[in-house]
Amino acid sequence: MTHLSVGEQAPWFFAPSPTNPNFNFSTVAGRYLLMGFPPLDSVERSAVFDLVGRNIDLFSDAKTACFLVMRDPADYAQARNRDGMRFFADFEGKLAQLYGARDADGTERPGWVLIDPSQRVLMTAQASETAQLLDRIRALPSPDAHAGVPLHAPVMIVPRVLDPDLCRRLIAHYNDQGGQPSGVMRQENGRTVGVLDDFKRRRDANIIDEGLRDEMRAGIVKRLLPEIRKAYRFQVTRIERYIVACYDAEDGGYFRPHRDNRTSGTEHRQFACSINLNAEEFEGGDLRFPEYGMRTYRPPTGGAVIFSCSLLHEATPVTKGTRYATLPFFFDEAGEALRLKNLHLTDFAPRIGEGAPEGAEQTRQTVLEAQARREAKAASAGREGEPLEGAGGPGAQ
C-alpha cells in the first residue's frame, strides 16, 4: 500500500480538519496514531467504515487516535471530530500521495499506516487487511511501553547555572514590571506571524536591566555553554531573548505541545533552554517530551534543561503556586545568517486569535511600539541575535 517501512519517521504535514484549517500533524506524538486512507469506491469505503465503527472502542486520544483522510467533499462535510477520531480533507490527493496511498500516476492504494508514539511507522496494511490491523491495535501495550524499554528524552539538565540570589532578583524584576500575555509563532501564507490565543497561558517580562542581563549572560557562558559543547559538540555563539516568564496556577499556566523552530522566523534556533528561578515553589509546570513518554523534567532553581528546538515539548499546567523561568534560545553564526535572511518574513506584532487572554490588545500595542523603536535605531532585531562574549568561535576548545 505504501512506500513507508517500519521504523521510518512518519511524514509531517499541515492539513485542514473540521476544527482547524491548518492542523499541524507534528504536534500529536505521545500516543499511537492510525492514518486511514479509505477506498474511493463507495461500497468498499462503507465496508471499511462499518468495520471501524464496530471497533470504535479501540480509539481514544489517550492511547490510539485515528485520523481518516477524506477525499470526497460530501463525506468530509459530514465528518465530526470526537475523542480518538479525527478527519483530514485531502481532495487533491496530496496527503494520500505523501503516505503512499496514491501513486504519482493516480493509481489508488487505499489502506492504513499505524504510527508509534514517537511518530515512527509501526505497521502498514491494505484496506482489505483492516480486520487484522484492528486486532493488532487491540493488542498494543500502553504508549509508554511501546519500545519495550523505558525511553529518556535526549535532554540535558545542568544545575547551578544562575546563582540563587540572581534568581530572586530576576523574579523581583518581573514583579516590578508586570508581565504581558505571551503569544506563539505560526507560519501563515509564507510568513511567521505572532498569535495570541489559548494555545499558551503565560506572561512574559523583558529583562531591561543591563546589570541583570550581564549577570545572566556570564552564568550561561561560564557554566552552561561548556556543557553544551561537551555533550553535543556544538559551539553556541548567539543568544535570543532575555525574558522572565511566569506560569501561574490562577489561569492554569501551560504551553501545549510544540516545536520551537518550525517557521521561517524561528528555524535558526538550535537549542532551547529553560532555567527555573523558583523550582521549589510550585506544583505542575514541568517539561514533557511526548515523543519519549509521559515522564516530566524539572531543573532545580538556577538549573537549566537544554534540548534541541526540533523536539516536541510542552509545559504542563501549573496546579499550585507560580513558576518563574528564563527561557533563552541558542544558535551559532550559521543560525544568525539564517535569522537575518528570514527577518523580512516575520511579523512581530501578534494577531489576536480565539481564546486570547485578557490584556492581549495591550500586548499587541506594546510589541508595535517596541518594533518602531528598533526600526528607528536601524537595529535588525534589537538584541535577538546578540553575540555571547566569551563563548568562543567555531574553533574554540
Q: List beta partners, residue 308.
A: 271
Per-residue pLDDT tens digits for 6-28: 999 999 999 999 999 999 999 99
Q: Nearest to residue 57, comparing CAs of 138, 130, 111, 128?
A: 138
- What global pTM score does this model have? 0.88
* Residue 367 amino acid letter: V
pLDDT band of 363, cuts 50, 70, 90: low
Q: Could you tell me the three cell numbers for 153?
A: 528524552
Task: Report the pLDDT value the prediction gives residue 348, as an integer from 0 to 100.
Answer: 72
Q: List beta partners, residue 192.
A: 187, 346
Percent of residues, the chain, with pLDDT higher than 90: 84
Task: Report the pLDDT value the prediction gives residue 385, as an integer from 0 to 100.
Answer: 80
Residue 381 has pLDDT above 80, yes or no: no
Residue 397 has pLDDT above 50, yes or no: no
**198 backbone dihedrals φ, ψ, rounded to 5°:** -95, 15
Q: Nearest to residue 6, comparing CAs of 109, 123, 97, 113?
A: 123
Task: Report the pLDDT value the prediction gives residue 390, as an integer from 0 to 100.
Answer: 61
Domains of the chain are 14-145 (3.40.30.10), 156-387 (2.60.120.620)
Residue 350 has pLDDT above 80, yes or no: no
Task: Report the pLDDT value the prediction gives residue 151, as an integer from 0 to 100.
Answer: 95
Task: Report the pLDDT value the prediction gives residue 377, as an integer from 0 to 100.
Answer: 44
Residue 395 has pLDDT above 80, yes or no: no
Of 85-94, 151-160, 244-253, 362-371, the poorest mean pLDDT is in: 362-371
Per-residue pLDDT tens digits for 285-302: 999 999 999 999 999 999
Residue 334 has pLDDT above 70, yes or no: yes
Please compute the mean of the pLDDT values over residues 145-154 and round it to a whole number.
96
Per-residue pLDDT tens digits for 266-281: 999 999 999 999 999 9
Task: Report the pLDDT value the prediction gives residue 386, as an integer from 0 to 100.
Answer: 87
